[in-house]
Amino acid sequence: MDFFNIEISWKGIGYIVITSVSSVIVLFILTRIMGKRQISQLTMFDYINGITIGSIAAEMATALDGDVWQPLFAMIIYAFFAIMISYISMKSIKARRFLVGRPFLLYENGKLFEKNLKKAKLDINEFLTECRTNGYFYLSDIQSAIFETNGKISFIPVSTKRPVTPQDLNINVAKEAPVANVIMDGHIMQENLRHTGNDEIWLKKQLHAQGVSHIKDVFLATCDCNNTLEVYVKLKKENKKDIFE
């Protein structure tokens, strides 16, 4: 009898493994279809919808009665509504304002808007904390504070407190472009290397000039718009300097 119970248990475990892997695959497909967004870009509906789909996926993984089609169908429905709402929000300003909301002022020109703080579900201490974490320790340094639809607060500093830019000093600066990762973890990124207009012969010459003999010893190598190669080799020794405590 004990052996029989163990056999049933192993069958159940095997079934859970299969349904868990299946739910992960379905989740991956649905998230790819719904599109990529950063956490800061998620609306409240996106957040709740994501939690709901995850909960349904967990139910699908543990459905020992064999009924996995109902949770699978429910996940597809939730994903469909998320895609439709995202599409409608992109096409209609009125729908976007209804579904997502609109930004509003919390502070401007030395005035705190108490009703808007309540609307944002923020007390004065939380607002001041947001100011400090963004580098503003005095409200007098802030021109405007705007509560965004993603729940973040954007700050506009007063003109006398903002950093000086080259434009303020009438300095012409060269345009910059993102660097290309030509080697990552000891492997040449062929497409990125071609994008820089160089080849492996050039790359190996540059590495040799910097004292690197083998590509496998390179952890990261980047090439900028000036065709300058920055090389970061793999370090086998652990850095034991503890200066951050």
Residue 44 placed within a domain? yes
pLDDT at 199 over 60: yes
Q: What is the CATH number of the domain that holds 141?
A: 3.30.240.20
| Number of structural domains the chain divides into | 3
Q: What is the mean pLDDT of residues 183-206?
A: 93
Residue 174 placed within a domain? no
Q: What is the pLDDT of residues 89-127, one digit of tens each?
A: 778 788 878 877 889 999 999 899 999 999 999 999 999
- Crossing angle of the two packed helices 2-34 and 44-61, in degrees rounded to 10: 150
Question: pLDDT exceeding 90 applies to what percent of the chain?
Answer: 40
What residues make up the domain containing 122?
104-157
Together in a domain, 113 and 58: no
Together in a domain, 152 and 186: no
Boundary residue ending a domain (97, 114, 136): 97
